[in-house]
Amino acid sequence: MVLSRLCIRLSLVCALPLAAVGPETPPRKPVAKSAAKPEPSAVVEVTAPLPTEPLVTVLDPKAPRQPLPAQDGAEYLKGIPGFSVIRKGGTDGDPVLRGMAGSRVNMLLDGEQLLGGCGMRMDPPTAYVFPESYDRITVVKGPETVLYGPGNSAGLVRFERSNDRFQQAGVEGTASLMGGSFGRNDQVLDARGGTPSYYVRGIGTRSHSGDYEDGNGTTIHSRYTRWSANAAFGWTPSDDARMEVSGTRSDGRAAYADRTMDGAQFMRENLGFKAELSRLTDRIEKLEFQAYHNYVDHVMDNYTLRTFTPTAMVPEPMVNNPDRLTRGGRFALGLRVAEATRLTVGLDAQANEHTVRLSARQWTAPVENKVRMDDGRFRNTGIFGEVDHPLTEKDRLVAGLRADRWHAEDPRATVAITMMATAPNPTLNHTRDETLTSGFFRYERQVLEGSTLYAGVGHAERFPDYWEAISKESLTTVSAFDTRPERTTQLDLGWMKQTGTIQTSVSLFYGKVKDFILIQSNVVKPIMTGTRLATVSRNVDATTWGGEVAVGTKVAGFLKLDGSLAYTRGENDTDRRPLAQIPPLEARLGLGYERETWSSGLLVRGVTRQDRYAVNQGNIVGQDLGATPGFAILSLNAGWKIAKGWLVTGGVDNLLNRAYAEHISRNTSAIPGYVVQSIRVNEPGRTLWMKASLRF
């Protein structure tokens, strides 16, 4: 029944204008079965690999890493210079790139757009990502590509899977088991089998943890259990053709330390289709088509994962059940317009519908009997083109331009203004239609062998998302539906060196944001009985600047030294105060000892004090709470290749059991049975872990 419903919805997807899957990566080459899965390295990564090209970093999520192997996308991205995470509990943190959060960082799951359902960001897109189930993670910093959807003002992250053609019949895959402190245990199986004509792939993941303790020994309300299952069937009639149908189902539950409710359900249903054709003619190098359907059904309540105690104000459990249906597609042509000039053109489309139903009296009026109410509809269609043109043997020009047509509808009759009160919606049945443009221009020059200088200017226009336009108020009314689009113009400069004994990357940026969408909490508004506190969206002008430096080198062939430095500074030009939710200066230093079959190493992470803040201002995830002290964390790791394909890794995170919290993390909430001893949600204390993985 579920599958038939998904097929019907997918047929509706195909009626939309479909968009581009740009052939940024080289055409897929045949991969022999024996070479498809290389032997795993015993080296545990403690800093992200250096960029492979200007502003682009490609990572292997199956490679061993420290800190504790990530169970969601945000935790994985935290290890990349420039990224931070807003912690809420043990899982489902929100990633922040260069101080920018939410839809300013576009997330694509195997080329698909997935938007969460929770109006309070319990389920950002990365909450539905188990990193090890993907083959590659590609990060683009800044508005420096137009191929993968609109509004990438801070950057873009693509979680990708590769399903190359088998050269002979066979089976390959990976499997892993991990155990750690606080009851943490993960299981992953990723297996693929096939012939030169067909393949089938199945992926299963499960991750569980109990409540963790911080460095003071305080138990944090943070337990979770998540699982996912993915299946794909592909047809590969030749080395230059592939068609694939895939489906995913996942669910879980998660406790949160920052709010009065927990996530009791994170159900996702997905169905997707891909087609790729390469080397069609001398001019048409690649054609890609993709269509997808994503449905998220989320439940939050105050009794499944915590003790409910009736009060006069809340006599029965409360349940909130939002959902979101997202349908979309992409189409692109990769063209060779000259001997060495590549042009990618295409179009993409996405439509999403959000509904919600809730019950303040779950025992006597269960939410299952309630009717869902539409509270937001968004559509976008975009066209784009991106060119890669070598000017000389040492000079390269990359540029792109896209236009997006947005349509939004506000069907809400009322807006909730307190837990028990609503007000008429002044923008009931209002619609918005906007055409937004984005583009970039980057010049690259090879100054020495393996050494490149680059300079780029990018502009991105971003339409307000659901959390900014629907789930918040404005300063003057109870609806923020008319919030203006955000316009970012950014200069990116950098230098990277990829040869010799020392590898280096320096990336600097300076950005001006017109109509930055600022979220401000605790705004006093009138009500019939007095006043109330509201959270509003408002437009301001802002400036951001900063950058990242990363260095890697080997000494005597067996000692490896890695280091990185990341800094972002933001100014709220309208209010003449610091821009909120900006993480402080962060440094990482890794030292490793490597041999053919084993390795050991340490990681030191240091973060400075942050005394630039704006209390009650921030983004759709959280607002500033005040200053934070600096801290330093020491962690140890080791890896051992015990046999062909087998690898065992382990480590101790936060060895000295330091009690600390990230500056941008959420504030704590009073939860029955738990002691609140800090303002922000503290990070885990000393954590031991061990992981065994097999590549076959």
pLDDT in tens, 266-294: 999 999 999 999 999 999 999 999 999 99
What residues contact 57, with CB distance under 8 A and at least 6 apart? 48, 49, 50, 51, 80, 138, 139, 141
How many Å apart are CA 256 and CA 224, to the nearest integer? 9
* SS3 call for 331: strand
Residue 67 preceded by cis peptide, ω within 30 = yes
Average pLDDT over residues 101-123: 95
Q: How confident is the model at residue 10 (pLDDT cuts 50, 70, 90)?
A: very low
Residue 578 preceded by cis peptide, ω within 30 = no
Task: Give residue 16's pLDDT.
Answer: 34
Average pLDDT over residues 405-411: 98
> Quick one: which of 93, 99, 96 has its CA closest to 257?
93
In this predicted structure, the answer to whether residue 34 has a pLDDT above a threshold of 90 is: no
Helices and strands: H and E segment counts in the chain: 3, 35
The three state secondary structure string of 152-205 is CCCEEEEEECCCCCECCCEEEEEEEEEEEHHHCEEEEEEEEEECCCEEEEEEEE
Give the global pTM: 0.92
The percentage of the chain sitting over the pLDDT mark of 90, rounded to a whole number, equals 86
Task: Give residue 530's pLDDT.
Answer: 85
In this predicted structure, the answer to whether residue 25 has a pLDDT above a threshold of 60 is: no
Neighbours of 423 (CB within 10 A): 16
CB 117 within 8 A of CB 144: no
Average pLDDT over residues 238-265: 97
Task: Give residue 8's pLDDT.
Answer: 37
Average predicted confidence (pLDDT) for the chain: 92
Task: Let me know the angle formed at the C-alpha of 84 by 81 and 85, rounded to the nearest 5 degrees.
Answer: 150
In this predicted structure, the answer to whether residue 213 has a pLDDT above a threshold of 50 is: yes
How many Å apart are CA 77 and CA 96, to the nearest integer? 9
What residues contact 576, with CB distance under 8 A and at least 6 apart? none
Q: How confident is the model at residue 38 (pLDDT cuts 50, 70, 90)?
A: low
How many Å apart are CA 137 and CA 538, to the nearest integer? 34
Task: Give residue 183's pLDDT.
Answer: 97
Model confidence pLDDT, tens digit, residues 335-387: 999 989 999 999 999 999 999 999 999 999 999 999 999 999 999 999 999 99
Q: Where is average pLDDT lowest: 406-410, 590-594, 607-611? A: 590-594
Task: Let me know the angle formed at the C-alpha of 531 by 409 and 517, rounded to the nearest 5 degrees.
Answer: 40
Q: Which two tokens stand for residue 228?
A: 């996912």
> For residue 448, with 0-12 CB atoms within 10 Å meaning exposed, 13-18 middle and 19 or more buried, which class applies?
exposed
How many Å apart are CA 477 and CA 469, to the nearest integer? 12
How many Å apart are CA 693 and CA 61, to the nearest integer? 13
Report DSSP state, residue 363.
Answer: T
Q: Where is average pLDDT lowest: 188-192, 610-614, 674-678? A: 674-678
In this predicted structure, the answer to whether residue 585 has a pLDDT above a threshold of 50 is: yes
Task: Give residue 50's pLDDT.
Answer: 87
Q: Which domains does the chain have, with CATH numbers?
A: 2-695 (2.40.170.20)
In this predicted structure, the answer to whether residue 490 has a pLDDT above a threshold of 80 is: yes
Task: Give residue 37's pLDDT.
Answer: 56
Task: Give residue 319's pLDDT.
Answer: 97
Task: Give residue 68's pLDDT.
Answer: 85
Model confidence pLDDT, tens digit, residues 413-427: 999 888 778 999 999
How many Å apart are CA 34 and CA 166, to the nearest integer? 10
Model confidence pLDDT, tens digit, residues 293-340: 999 999 999 999 999 999 888 899 999 999 999 999 999 999 999 989
Q: How confident is the model at residue 45 (pLDDT cuts 50, 70, 90)?
A: confident
Q: Where is average pLDDT lowest: 61-65, 270-274, 296-300, 527-531? A: 527-531
Report DSSP state, residue 14.
Answer: T
DSSP states of 53-118? BTTEEEE-TTS-BSSS--SSHHHHHTTSTTEEEE-SBSS-PEEEETTB-GGGEEEEETTEE-----
Place of tokens 């690898």: 647
Phi, psi dihedrals of residue 275, rounded to the nearest 5°: -140, 135
Report DSSP state, residue 359.
Answer: E
Model confidence pLDDT, tens digit, residues 437-453: 999 999 999 998 889 99
What residues contact 4, with CB distance under 8 A and at least 6 apart? none
Rg (CA), the chain: 25
Q: How far is CA 158 from CA 57, 211, 345, in A?
A: 11, 30, 19
- Which H or E run contains 392? none
How many Å apart are CA 443 and CA 386, to the nearest integer? 14
In this predicted structure, the answer to whether residue 264 has a pLDDT above a threshold of 50 is: yes
In this predicted structure, the answer to whether residue 14 has a pLDDT above a threshold of 60 is: no
How many Å apart are CA 545 and CA 252, to the nearest integer? 38
How many Å apart are CA 31 and CA 168, to the nearest integer? 10
CB 679 within 8 A of CB 659: no
Phi, psi dihedrals of residue 435, rounded to the nearest 5°: -110, 120
Q: Which two tokens stand for residue 63?
A: 């490679």
DSSP states of 525-589? EEETTEEEEEEEEEEEEEEEEEEEEEEEEEETTTEEEEEEEEEEEEEETTTTEEPSS----EEEE
Task: Give residue 477's pLDDT.
Answer: 96
Q: How far is CA 303 from the centre of its chain?
A: 29
In this predicted structure, the answer to whether residue 36 has a pLDDT above a threshold of 60 is: no
Phi, psi dihedrals of residue 639, rounded to the nearest 5°: -140, 145
Average pLDDT over residues 497-523: 94
In this predicted structure, the answer to whether residue 527 has a pLDDT above a threshold of 90 is: no
Q: Where is average pLDDT lowest: 415-424, 480-489, 504-513? A: 415-424
